[in-house]
Amino acid sequence: MRKINKFPELWFLVGGLILLVGVFLADHLLNRYLVHILILMGIYSITTVSLNLTNGYTGLFSLGHAAFMAIGAYTSTLLAFPIALREAYELPLLPSFLGGPEYSWPFFPALVAGGLLASIAALLIGAPVLRLRGHYLSVASLGFMVIVTTFAKTLRGITRGSMGINAIPSYTNIYWTYLWLFISVYVVWRIVNSRFGRAMLAIREDETAAQALGIYPMKYKLLSFAVGAFFAGVAGGLYAHFTKAIRPFEFSFFLTFQIVTMLIIGGMGTTSGPIVGAASLIALRYALKPVEEGLQIYGLIELIYATLLIVIMLWKPEGIMGKRHSRMS
């Protein structure tokens, strides 16, 4: 363990290469169905990894993450939507400062734009909401999610309202997904191991002490919120170009519940927890799908998620990957 700690940057690079080979093999050897599941695991992992920065490391228990996904999903969809289909789907053409009516954005910059817009939203909403603590912050951020989904429903001229947007080109593939997962894990890992992340940990542990040691909490809360929102926005964009259709209600309570559950079950404030949580709950969902359909008990999966959440909170509140602090003997 100590040896690995010596050159973590190198190991990260090696890990990235192994990941690339793994993704390549998966893409070529596994059937479409399994690749589909892997992509979904990847997208959810990006979401939980970014949620972990705010909720796990900085201790700001935000429930607004789905809103950032929605912002990213709609932004990237609108930017990258094919010109030919815009009229058919009653979607607006791009104004000249975004490239003009004859232009649709390539996938990558559209994703980045979605992430950036989510970050800007995070900064705007964070300035008031991050002043709140504990439950107040959670509830206020949940309110933000409701506001965003309401906007998605009512701004029909842009979002087509609750009908949603269909025929989104399926740009998302396993390479894009895992590239972004790699980037998000890398960024969060770098932040956590720098003075920025240390400031976030300090805020989580004791905000007053942090401030008495020279840390200005608001700055680092906003940073963690904005970086988390960026990757949530990207994940939203990947999601939109994967499912090929988005509707406002998809980015609402159930999605919020799912990603928060994944993070808690995997282990908040741990490196691998968010990925383990996301991957295992997605695996569970697909394993149970035949059972759900066979027994005709729809909602079985939600029931099992909820039960798992309660069980984990009671018996292993630090999550699967979390370690309990052992008392010194």
Partner 1 sequence: MTYFILEVEDLWKSFGGLTAVSGYQLKLPPDSVYGLIGPNGAGKTTIFNLISGIIKPTRGKIIFKGKDITFWRPDQVVALGLTRTFQNLRLFSSLTVEMNLKIASHLHARCNFWSSLFSFPSFFREEREIKKRVDYILEVFDLVPYREEVSSNLPYGLQRKLDIARALMTKPQLVLLDEPSAGMNTQEAEDLAELIRRIKEEFQLTLIIVEHRMSLVMGLAEVVQVIDYGSVIAMGSPEEVQNDPQVIEAYLGTGDVVA
Given the rule CB under 8 A, which of 35-43, 119-127, 209-217, 255-263 is the region that contacts partner 1?
209-217
Regarding 187 and contact with partner 1 (CB under 8 A), the answer is: yes
Least Å from the CB of residue 231 to partner 1: 13
Least Å from the CB of residue 325 to partner 1: 5
Neighbours of 176 (CB within 10 A): 21
Least Å from the CB of residue 187 to partner 1: 7
Direct distance between the N- and C-terminal alpha carbons of the chain, in angstroms, rounded to an integer: 23
Report the candidate in 260, 271, 268, 274 with the shortest Cα–Cα distance to residue 317. 268
Report the candidate in 220, 314, 300 with the shortest Cα–Cα distance to residue 264. 314
Measured from the CB atom, is 90 or 206 closer to partner 1? 206
- In three-state form (DSSP H/G/I as H, E/B as E, the rest C), the secondary structure along 105-144 is CCHHHHHHHHHHHHHHHHHHHHHHHCCCCHHHHHHHHHHH
Length of the chain: 329
Measured from the CB atom, is 96 or 326 closer to partner 1? 326
Q: Tokens at residue 158, please?
A: 């842009």
Regarding 325 and contact with partner 1 (CB under 8 A), the answer is: yes
Given the rule CB under 8 A, which of 71-79, 96-104, 197-205, 250-258 is the region that contacts partner 1?
197-205
DSSP state of 164: -
Regarding 206 and contact with partner 1 (CB under 8 A), the answer is: yes
Given the rule CB under 8 A, which of 64-72, 77-85, 200-208, 301-309 is the region that contacts partner 1?
200-208
Least Å from the CB of residue 212 to partner 1: 5
- Considering only residues 219 through 238, tell me which ones interact with partner 1, judged by CB under 8 A: 223
- Which residues lie across from 165 on neighbouring strands? 246
3-state secondary structure of 308: helix
3-state secondary structure of 102: coil
Measured from the CB atom, is 123 or 187 closer to partner 1? 187
- Contacts with partner 1 by CB under 8 A lie at 9, 187, 190-191, 194-196, 198-199, 201-202, 205-206, 208-216, 223, 325-328
